[in-house]
Amino acid sequence: MASLYLDIINDLKKRIFKPVYYLYGSESYFIDAITDYIQHQVLQDFEKDFNLTVFYGLDANVGKVVDAARRYPVGATHNIVIVREAQHLRTDEEDSLQKYLEKPTPSTILVLASKSEKNKHLKKLSSEARKQIVEAEFKKLYESEIPAWIKNYLAAHRYNIEEEALQMLAEYTGTEIEVIVNECSKLFLNLKEGTTIRPEHIEEFIGISKEYSIYELFRHLAYKNRAMATRIAMRYAADAREYHPVRVAATLFPLFYKVWLYHLLPVKTESHAAAVLGINRFFLKDYLAAARNYPPEKCNRILRRMNYYDLRAKGVDNQSTSPGEITREMILYILSV
């Protein structure tokens, strides 16, 4: 999916256009980024007055959208018609949009940007018509897909990144693509193309402290390093806004879940374990240490207790315990198991 986004953007930059772009799905960042590029970059400013029309699905009339798409460009190579929030665009009795999609105007770029998980408008089109259409579905990325997406995104901008720095960035940004892009832009502003991004770059330009990252906490818990894990617990407790227990639990849970899954693997070679668990082999040693210190029954207890702390942090059966105290208690509990 992310590679599809980069493919579309790269074609647009090369001025390789299709008559219709049908973009839909739950990940709005990709949809907006492609739509914004077509709206702002394809035409020069003086060409936009006569050759750019933007509709919004809730207020748009299908007939007017089709009429605008059938126009020929005036003093420009292309006529651009964009329908944002196209999931609200209703078809008319004549189904004129479907008729247009069967035979779109070659000099028009029609963008249907739909924030819906369903393909509402591309129905019963001939195979010949589909050749004229870029149909792209963009779903939310899973947490396990984020590191690879960041790596590819950085590579597309001619940057490399060390595995430890990648882990820090992925942990910090979560699954929101817009947040990832914004944080990467800080690196682009401060580092030359071709730079290999290291943990110290992440600390300096994004403000993430490796020493107090949640993955660093997991590492100390994995090795039962009580002194450092307790130190991080106290730091988290003192800054519950930055290290809220819901966030800490949500990040630690999948890490310990992978430790539990490791115990269930019939084949425990490093290459097999790394592939099945979706772990970079650079970090596998930390999971192996956790597996030695936390057998299956302990993993089960930790996972159940993290669910308990998550609910308490959200106010369930909790009248007075502060978020910071919940985080501290959760970390110390894991150490004690």
| pLDDT per position as a tens digit, 235-286 | 999 988 888 999 899 889 999 999 999 999 999 898 899 888 888 788 889 9
What does the pLDDT read at residue 192? 94
How far are the Cα atoms of 137, 140, 147, 220, 291 from residue 162, in angstroms, in the given order?
30, 25, 11, 21, 25
What does the pLDDT read at residue 266? 93
Q: Please state the rounded mean pLDDT for residues 196-225.
A: 89
What does the pLDDT read at residue 274? 87
What does the pLDDT read at residue 93? 64
Least confident of 2-11, 80-89, 196-205, 304-313: 2-11
Q: Please state the rounded mean pLDDT for residues 27-51.
A: 94
What does the pLDDT read at residue 304? 95
Sequence-ordered alpha helix ranges (H) in 196-322? 199-201, 214-222, 226-238, 245-264, 270-277, 281-293, 296-313
pLDDT at 186 over 80: yes
Q: Please state the rounded mean pLDDT for residues 191-206.
A: 92
Q: Residues, the chain, total?
A: 337
pLDDT digits (tens, 9 = 90+) for 259-271: 999 999 999 898 8
What does the pLDDT read at residue 252? 92
Q: How many alpha carbons lie under 13 Å from residue 54 in its C-beta half-sphere? A: 9
- Pair of tokens at residue 268: 């425990």
Q: Tell me how far apart the alpha carbons of residues 32 and 24 are, in angstroms, rounded to a whole number.
A: 10
pLDDT band at 126 (very low <50, low <70, confident <90, very high): confident
pLDDT at 120 over 80: no
Q: Please state the rounded mean pLDDT for residues 28-53.
A: 95
- Answer with the residue of higher pLDDT: 133 or 174: 133
How far are the Cα atoms of 87, 152, 195, 280, 281 from residue 158, in angstroms, in the given order?
36, 10, 8, 22, 24
Q: Cβ(121)–Cβ(24) under 8 Å?
A: no
3-state secondary structure of 135: strand
pLDDT at 85 over 70: yes
Q: Tell me how far apart the alpha carbons of residues 332 and 305 are, in angstroms, rounded to a whole number.
A: 12
Q: Tell me how far apart the alpha carbons of residues 109 and 32 are, in angstroms, rounded to a whole number.
A: 16
Q: Which domains does the chain have, with CATH numbers?
A: 2-137 (3.40.50.300), 143-206 (1.10.8.60), 210-336 (1.20.272.10)
Nearest Cα neighbor of 10 from 191, 45, 2, 182 is 2
Look-up of token digits 């940007």: 113
What does the pLDDT read at residue 203? 86
Q: Cβ(78)–Cβ(42) under 8 Å?
A: yes
What does the pLDDT read at residue 38? 97
pLDDT at 54 over 90: yes
pLDDT digits (tens, 9 = 90+) for 149-178: 899 889 989 999 998 899 888 878 878 888
Please state, rounded to an integer, the average pLDDT across all residues of the chain. Answer: 90
